[in-house]
């Protein structure tokens, strides 16, 4: 049983930004993100999922999008986390009060792409989708402690990278 | 490590503001709806229905014929078995009658000697 076409169109219009944004920030590539987002919606269309509520639809779409995005990453053998681990090795100390300069803010997505996959997903769901750790844990089927750890470590890594990038930016300005 | 229920710092607040949802590329919904329509199996079902019907009718007929044949063969076997049992019973009865008749011969002869007759 498939979803009624009119209802499906409405669902696409309502949730396309959410689905596309998750796909984009997890995969880091515009074209791949569109492919992933379309696949997620098509899976919903094919599955004839019982749409009980808006929360249920959002939960389903977010979960499928994350899974399809990680599948896409793995199939393309893109491993941006290798670069991120190098960052972790190079910088062992927290830089207190490392705020975001607007010039650095513009590069946030680029920094995000270099995070390890699990951290990137947790950060995207936490800060883009404003989901709580227990909601993310339920969606990903992970322990809450794992999700909290991934968010915190991802945040820590982003903060360090942003600080370092800002320093470079300042030096370049001088 | 900071807990989640604590107040977010400047970095997190900025992160939350920056990580807004972005719109998909132009024509995303249209392309998606076209693909969804193309994947709808309605047309395929309509095209395959007659073949499925013929196939199902053929299979149904074969099953029905097999059932009828089975019932007929079974009934014949049952009748043959019943006839064989009846024949065997009849032969056993005749044998028993002959044996009884012979056993009664001396008695019959004794009765004849005293002037009485025992029916055959």
Whether this model's ipTM surpasses 0.90 comes out as no
Closest in A17, A99, A124 to B24, CB measured: A17
Mean pLDDT to the nearest integer, A82-102: 44
3-state secondary structure A73-99: HHHCCCCCHHHHHHHHHHCCCCCCCCC
How long is chain B? 120
pLDDT score of A82 more than 80: no
Structure token digits, residue B100: 């009884």
Q: Please, which pLDDT band fits residue A40 given cuts at 50, 70 and 90?
A: very high
Structure token digits, residue A99: 């705020």
Of A107, A44, A111, A32, the closest CA to residue A70 belongs to A32
Q: Please, which pLDDT band fits residue B46 given cuts at 50, 70 and 90?
A: very low
For A120-161, how does the pLDDT look when each residue is reduced to its tens digit (9 = 90+)?
999 999 999 999 999 999 999 999 999 999 999 999 998 888
pLDDT score of B84 more than 90: yes
Enumerate helices (H) and strands (E) in chain A, giving the number of each. 9, 0
CB contact (8 A) between residue A108 and residue B19: yes
pLDDT score of A99 more than 80: no
Mean pLDDT to the nearest integer, B61-84: 93
Chain A interface test: which of B10, B28, B29, B30 (most A C-beta within 10 Å): B28
pLDDT at A74: 87
pLDDT score of B6 more than 80: no
Q: Please, which pLDDT band fits residue B52 given cuts at 50, 70 and 90?
A: low
- Tell me how far apart the alpha carbons of residues A110 and A103 are, in angstroms, rounded to a whole number: 12
Q: What percent of chain B clears pLDDT 90, i.e. is strictly above it? A: 42
CATH topology of domain A81-173: Arc Repressor Mutant, subunit A (1.10.10)
pLDDT score of B119 more than 70: no
CATH topology of domain A5-75: Rna Polymerase Sigma Factor; Chain: A (1.10.1740)
- Tell me how far apart the alpha carbons of residues B22 and A30 are, in angstroms, rounded to a whole number: 11
- Give the global pTM: 0.61
pLDDT at B41: 58
Mean pLDDT to the nearest integer, A87-99: 42
Q: CB count, 10 Å around CB of A147?
A: 26
Q: Which of residues 39-78 of B touch A (CB under 8 A)?
A: 39-40
Q: Which of residues 51-110 of A touch B (CB under 8 A)?
A: 97-100, 105, 108
So where are chain A's domains?
Answer: 5-75, 81-173
Mean pLDDT to the nearest integer, B44-62: 65
pLDDT at A1: 62
């Amino acid at each position: 049983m498939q979803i009624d076409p009119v209802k499906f169109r409405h669902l696409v219009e309502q949730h396309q930004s959410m689905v596309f944004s998750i796909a984009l920030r997890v995969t880091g590539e515009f074209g791949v993100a569109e492919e992933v987002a379309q696949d997620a919606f098509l899976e919903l269309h094919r599955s004839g999922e019982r749409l009980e509520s808006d929360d249920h639809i959002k939960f389903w779409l977010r979960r499928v999008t994350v899974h399809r995005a990680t599948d896409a990453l793995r199939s393309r053998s893109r491993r941006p986390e290798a670069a991120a681990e190098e960052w972790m090795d190079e910088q062992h100390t927290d830089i207190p009060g490392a705020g975001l300069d607007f010039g650095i803010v513009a590069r946030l997505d680029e920094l995000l792409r270099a995070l390890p996959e699990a951290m990137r997903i947790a950060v995207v769901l936490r800060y883009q989708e404003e989901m709580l750790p227990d909601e993310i844990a339920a969606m990903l089927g992970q322990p809450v402690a794992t999700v909290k750890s991934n968010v915190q470590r991802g945040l820590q890594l982003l903060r360090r990278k942003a600080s370092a990038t800002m320093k470079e930016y300042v030096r370049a300005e001088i | 490590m900071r807990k989640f229920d604590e107040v977010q710092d400047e970095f997190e607040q900025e992160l939350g503001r920056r990580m807004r949802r972005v719109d998909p590329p132009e024509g995303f919904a249209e392309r998606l709806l076209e693909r969804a329509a193309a994947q709808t199996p309605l047309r395929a079902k309509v095209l395959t229905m007659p073949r499925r019907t013929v196939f199902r009718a053929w299979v149904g007929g074969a099953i029905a014929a097999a059932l009828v044949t089975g019932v007929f063969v079974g009934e014949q076997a049952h009748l043959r078995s019943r006839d064989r049992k009846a024949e065997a019973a009849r032969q056993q009865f005749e044998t028993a009658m002959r044996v009884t008749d012979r056993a009664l011969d001396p008695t019959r002869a004794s009765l004849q000697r005293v002037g009485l007759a025992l029916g055959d």
